[in-house]
Amino acid sequence: MVIAMALAPDKALPDKKEDTKFTPLAASSYASRQTSEKITIGVLPYFNDEDTRPVFGKNNPYKYGVLPVLVVIQNDSPKTIRVQSLQAAWIGPNRDRAEATPAKDVRYLTAPRRPNATPGVPALIGHKNPLDTWEIEGRAFAAQVLPPGQSASGFFYFQTGYQKGSSLYLSGMSEAESGQELLYFEIPIVDK
């Protein structure tokens, strides 16, 4: 009976990842979207606290120099599409370009603040890097293939600021069977 009681609390505690479920909308429902060859891509940058809180919790990545951009891809073509080599770039209104930072590297972009070191005094512990959270990698775009009639979604991360008149450039998708690369997408960002 003691063993059962010791195991019960672990099962009773909600998993943090399950508590913060995030479900994106269909690709065609986003204001910033483009359709080509029966593939629709919807895009939404996240930069204000109101939008980022349900997705990333209390630590808004944009406040730390990282612009998260949600990408939703819907494949309505009859062919399976490879998206494992998808490349993303944020194009500013002046055509300046920021390549996506891999999700696994985002945690290293802002080091935790170090306390002032005083000789003979122990260092303070507990300053956590606000970009080192499971949501960054857990919500990143990670799909490999996209079968007909299916959709995939996730975030790309850019070390840039949000500016009106920007666009998202996506390339590297191909047909799984033939290997033929699909045309690139350049999706203008429509302000909310």
The pLDDT profile of the chain, 192 residues, written as one tens digit per residue, is: 343 333 333 333 334 444 457 899 999 999 999 999 999 999 999 999 999 999 999 889 999 999 999 999 999 999 999 999 999 999 999 999 999 999 999 998 864 454 554 454 444 445 578 888 999 999 999 999 999 999 999 999 999 999 999 999 999 999 999 999 998 999 999 986
Tokens of 18: 């399950």
- pLDDT digit string (tens) for 101-154? 999 999 988 644 545 544 544 444 455 788 889 999 999 999 999 999 999 999
Mapped to the 3 state alphabet, what secondary structure does 111-144 carry? Answer: CCCCCCCCCCCCCCCCCCCCCCCHHHHHCECCCC
Rounded to a whole number, what is the distance in angstroms from the first to the last CA of the chain?
57
Q: Could you tell me the pTM of the whole model?
A: 0.81
Reported in sequence order, the residue ranges of 51-107 that DSSP labels E, i.e. its strands, are: 67-75, 81-82, 87-91, 97-101
Beta bridge partners of 171: 87
Full strand arrangement of the beta sheet holding 67-75: 32-36, 39-45, 67-75, 151-158, 97-101, 87-91, 167-171, 185-188
Q: What are phi and psi of 73, to 5 degrees?
A: -115, 125
Pairwise CA distance, residues 32 & 41, whole Å: 8
What is the reported pLDDT for 121? 43
CB 90 within 8 A of CB 98: yes
Question: Taking CA 177 as the corner, what is the angle to CA 179 and CA 32, rounded to the nearest 5 degrees?
Answer: 70
Tokens of 133: 């959270």
Pairwise CA distance, residues 139 & 22, whole Å: 9
Domains of the chain, each with CATH number or no CATH: 22-108+125-185 (2.60.40)
